[in-house]
Chain A
């Protein structure tokens, strides 16, 4: 059967490795999802987004995968760099509830060189 990635509060990788950060969302009616990066003491920074009518979207060094069947989202970072070290959050937009975003639990990514 299909496995669902578990949310891990921390992830440690070596520079150059690929990183995969997982997120489970709560509302099956959510239609839009965003990944944010947050560095210590700063506000969230947009990374990549995906709509519910897609299952994959690619950006520069990042890919987001959406599995609506199991309400799971993942962020893949290729060739992880020390500057990628931060806390990563997924957020879902509440369908028909304006534009408010509901944030998931964060994952702290630590990249060692």
Chain B
């Protein structure tokens, strides 16, 4: 149980285009989903926290207009990287907290590798 999937697992896009990454909780309902980015050989950096049905809370320094987060249902959150640039190339990872369970438990997705050319 408690499986989180991400789609796509990798994507290559051209500079200036937008890319959408999906994060799904497959066998549970997620009250909260988190988005992280990870540069090579670095740690995970929290980008934003999203609660179903409400606006995401972005971390300091993360542009909300560039990284659009939608959490329209208890099983799906999407991250859209708008007008992508090469410096947005990174590994994007989502996690989800299960509805009704202790908020401590977060389940991570397998990540999405974004390469902007």
Contact = CB atoms under 8 A, between A and B. Distances in A.
Interface size class of A (residues with CB under 8 A): 20 to 34
Contact of A43 (B42, B103, B111): B111
A102 B46 contact: yes
Nearest to B4: A43
B46 A43 contact: no
Contacts, number: 49
B110 A104 contact: no
Contacts of B108: 36, 43-45
Nearest to A89: B43
A93 B95 CA distance: 14
A1 interface: no
A105 B41 CA distance: 10
Contacts of A106: 42-43
Given A89-B43, A100-B46, A42 B104 contact: no
B62 interface: no
Nearest to B2: A46
18 contacts: A34-B104, A41-B91, A41-B111, A42-B110, A43-B4, A43-B6, A43-B93, A43-B109, A44-B44, A44-B108, A99-B32, A99-B97, A100-B34, A100-B46, A101-B34, A103-B44, A103-B46, A106-B43
